[in-house]
Chains A and B, each alone.
Chain A
Amino acid sequence: MSFRLEMRENASVGLRLGVSLGAGIVALLLVAIPVLFAGGSPLTAYGLMVQGAFGSMFALSETLNRATPLILTGLAAAVAFRAKLWNIGAEGQLYIGALAAVLVGSGLLQMPPALLIPTVMIAGFLAGGMMMVIPTLIKQRFGADEVVITLLLNFIVILFVQMLVEGPLKDPLAMGWPQSVPLLAEAKLPKLLPRLRMHWGLITGVVAAIVLWVMVRKTVLGFEIRAVGENKAAARFAGIPVDKTMLKVALISGGLAGLAGVGEVAGVKGYLSADLSPGFGYSGIVVAMLAGLSPIGTVIAAIFIAAVFVGADSMSRATGISNYVADLVVALSLLCVLVGSFFLRFRLRYDRKLEA
């Protein structure tokens, strides 16, 4: 009697979904162990987490507020990874998008909200997009690895933003805090409900996911992105402009990350500072991987990750167990997805027969 691994010929959609779901559940189960060591009861802890994330309108709003940038950075990673363009720079693109929003929306242009908000968003999208288009051009011209460029750019951008908010962009009325001049009221994204932090960025994220989903399945551009991502040589032979398609992907990917930055300044904070994002760009990669790079899945995965963070904060306040639990759940989910994708390629078989 033995267990054996077998190669799978095909993996069904249901199986892919199951793997993502299973990964989340297994991660939560594994995290029960440290919770036990910390002297808490896992059931109570998870109960509190669920309550903290979804238990009230306020909790739900906090979770969705947190999910908003993750949806956009998740989509940024998903669309790029589809095309085998390894954008690790969503963090930097987010900051550049936020910076563009501040530059355009803090007094440079005077317009009614109906015009200013779209303008700010387009500016953030284009700025974030350029932050990915340039590394892609460098890759195409000089063969430099985009992983390295985009990763390093994250640090450069954050230092640059830090310099700006402590210098030329510094708000003289902020009592010395390193933060930028505030956005005009006309540039701010309206809240979805009164007294709750959720804002229109969430709608932007969901719409972006639907647009991407439709784009991949129904449009020529989506067709070309898939072809380039799956087999560059065949795509080139068939006449698909590979470099151009990659640049389009880069613009979309960086642009989505830029929009995440716009949402944070125009929807939540109202100004730019160097601690705008607690790593939304990097978490977006986890979100995209959890979602198996599917746009709609990205929305769900982003809400899951956001719920883990928000729920863990509230659980930690109630029980004294550290909210690092959230980081553990997220990291383990990613690991579980990677292990799970192994089961997309192989299946475990149980042999009753004895060896002949």
Chain B
Amino acid sequence: MTDIPASALLSLENITKRFGPLVANDGISLSLQRGEILALLGENGAGKTTLMNILFGHYVQDEGVVRVAGKNGLETLPSGSPGAALAAGVGMVHQHFTLAENLSGLANIRLGTEALLSLGRASAARRKIEQIIAESGLTVDLDRRVADLTVGEKQRVEILKALYRDAKVLILDEPTAVLTPQEADGLFVVLRRLAANGLGVIFISHKLGEVLAISNRILVLRAGRKAGELVSATADRRAIADLMVGKAVAEVTRAPAKPGAALMAFDKVSLRQGASRQSLRKVSFELRAGEIVGLAGVSGNGQAGIAALISGLAVPSEGELLLYGKPIHRADPRALVAAGVARMPEDRQHDGVVGTMSVADNIAIEEVRSPAFSRSGWLDRKAMRARAQSAIAAYDVRCLGPDAEARLLSGGNVQKLILARVLEREPRVILANQPTRGLDVGAQAEVHRRIIAARDRGAAVMVISEDLDELFALSDRFLVAHEGEITDAGPAEGLDRSTIGLLMAGHSAAAEGLAS
């Protein structure tokens, strides 16, 4: 057709997709070569996931064609058929995984490609998968139940699933959003190796640093349109950010903290119930008014326990958790919310929103029983809609309105919805658990600004994040989690990444010469 080189694997031509009045993709074209890693960038709701869903056949485009390399050069892919996309060699790893949790990794990889009862071929399948593992470095225990795997391992199973079906093109929708930095580095090694063998990769991410490091080419979407295309080697962060947002992203600045009284205090708190990644051992620290405390640590070292306690989902097995000086004895999220605690869940799709309920419902959900949204058992729909309307405007939640179902929001916009829900009522204690995971640079800056504004208003804030840059941008004081114990690393000034890194690895504070 056009001037597409012979090594082209894939071309999308003038793809347009509308959802009612909203144009999610507007005449987007792109091409992908063998061995190329293409990064797809854009604000939350720019249409990245939608475009990939069209390529993979989950959605049907209103206009445009998808062509994939076949026997006779580029062949048109029938729209709306994931089966056809798979057969043509397009593999996709979704933003939210799609594995059968109670089956083994091996069964998941084979699922859908052959009858599971064909025992005879199980060994052949296994050999093929083991060969892929050896070539790519995607190490997983194939016989473990998927439910018992870590997020990183689940993702490797998803990638193996695509490669097992002889994918020529691999789409990864925000693969690093859920990974620890170490796991992300491992993924990049794998991707480079796969690309060297001729695989074409489309990689969606909001982290400019990793995009520049891993990709060959960058395509930027803005509000459904193609805003520009850059060669990674010569691009710089500023230029990309400006392309994405259409204007320069302002730096977030903050004045030194003026800590006040302790609003929440952990006094030798131990937690044993629940999953082991929640457990805590004699943890003591305070969250003070007007101060942001950053909790650093490799995921799974007790952060989940701290979050569960502050969220009101658990109570200490030993020790005391004090809110405004009074001990909390009952796990009661509603009481905490009423007392002015704002909680952002780590897994927002799972714990944050009820997908089939509306944006307005999801914004009101924590306070439906309060007079703000109901009177003697009757919902005040008008108040709910009004609150939703103002939240949508104030937090720039991109959606069709208060009545839109939450499941239709893009990943980043769900996070903005949750922010709107918890920050609007001027909370006194804030738990921000991975507050900017999956948010675009502009939204990230906006969230940081709002958290700092809340601190300046006198709120006590705890930020849990795996992103050290984020922690250094926000924290006035650092705590570090290691195997269920918390070390106070002291004020952020005078701390650097390597000190925090050593504490995360379990070296004691005393050994590092820190005051506690």
Contacts and interface: CB of A to CB of B under 8 A. Distances in A.
Contacts of A7: 58-59, 80, 82
Nearest to A2: B78
Contacts of B337: 239
Interface in B175-234: none
A121 B303 CA distance: 52
Interface in B306-320: 311-313
Nearest to B350: A233
Contact of A219 (B345, B350, B366, B378): B378
B499 interface: no
Contacts of A173: none
A240 B365 contact: yes
B332 A221 contact: no
A218 to B, nearest CB: 6
B351 interface: yes
B377 A356 contact: no
A259 B187 CA distance: 60
Contact of B352 (A4, A218, A237, A239): A237
A241 B334 CA distance: 9
Interface string B373-405: 010011101000000000000000000000000
Contacts of A226: 354, 357
B75 interface: yes
A235 B352 CA distance: 8
Interface string A331-356: 00000000000000000010100011
Interface string B319-349: 0000000000000111111000001010000
A220 B368 contact: yes
A196 interface: no
Contacts of B283: none
A234 B334 contact: no
A6 B357 contact: no
B361 interface: yes
Contacts of A349: 60, 80
A235 B357 CA distance: 11
Contact of A235 (B58, B78, B332, B354): B354
A356 B354 contact: no
Contacts of A355: 76, 78
Interface residues of B, number: 40
Interface residues of A, number: 30
Nearest to A224: B368
Nearest to A221: B377
A231 B350 CA distance: 8
A238 B78 contact: no
B352 A234 contact: yes
B345 A237 contact: yes
B76 A230 contact: no
A237 B354 contact: no
B351 A234 contact: yes
Contacts, number: 91
Nearest to B345: A237
B508 interface: no
Contact of A218 (B19, B365, B379): B379
A231 to B, nearest CB: 4
B282 interface: no
Contacts of B336: 239
Interface in B9-42: 19
B333 A230 contact: no
Nearest to B338: A239
Contacts of A5: 81
Contact of A239 (B75, B350, B353, B366): B366
Interface in B351-369: 351-357, 361, 365-366, 368-369
Contact of A223 (B19, B334, B352, B368): B368
Contacts of B356: 230-231
Contacts of B379: 218-220, 222-223
A267 B467 CA distance: 68
B355 A4 contact: no
A234 B354 CA distance: 6
Interface string A1-34: 0001111011000000000000000000000000
Contact of A4 (B80, B343, B351): B80
B247 to A, nearest CB: 32
A110 B78 CA distance: 75
A288 interface: no
Contacts of B335: 239
Contact of B378 (A218, A224, A239, A241): A218
A227 interface: yes
Given A227-B354, A231-B354, A220 B60 contact: no
B365 A227 contact: yes
Nearest to B59: A9
Contact of B19 (A4, A9, A234, A240): A9
A236 interface: yes
Contacts of A241: 334
B119 to A, nearest CB: 30
Scoring B60, B343, B361 by chain A CB atoms within 10 A of each residue's CB, the highest score goes to: B60
A190 B114 CA distance: 63
A220 B59 contact: no
B353 A236 contact: no
Interface in B499-513: none
A349 B57 CA distance: 13
Given A219-B378, A223-B368, A230-B355, A4 B75 contact: no
Contacts of A6: 60, 80-81
A239 B59 contact: no
A230 B368 contact: no
Contacts of A4: 78, 80-81
A294 to B, nearest CB: 15
A231 B353 contact: yes
Nearest to A351: B78
B312 to A, nearest CB: 7
Given A236-B313, A236-B333, 8 more contacts: A7-B58, A218-B378, A218-B379, A224-B368, A227-B357, A237-B333, A239-B332, A349-B60
Interface of B: 19, 58-60, 75-76, 78, 80-82, 311-313, 332-337, 343, 345, 350-357, 361, 365-366, 368-369, 374, 377-379, 381, 408
Interface of A: 4-7, 9-10, 218-224, 226-227, 230-231, 233-241, 349, 351, 355-356
State the 5 A-B residue pairs at the shortest beta-carbon distance, nearest first. A239-B334, A239-B333, A356-B76, A6-B80, A237-B351
10 contacts: A218-B378, A219-B377, A227-B354, A227-B357, A231-B354, A231-B355, A233-B350, A239-B312, A239-B334, A355-B76
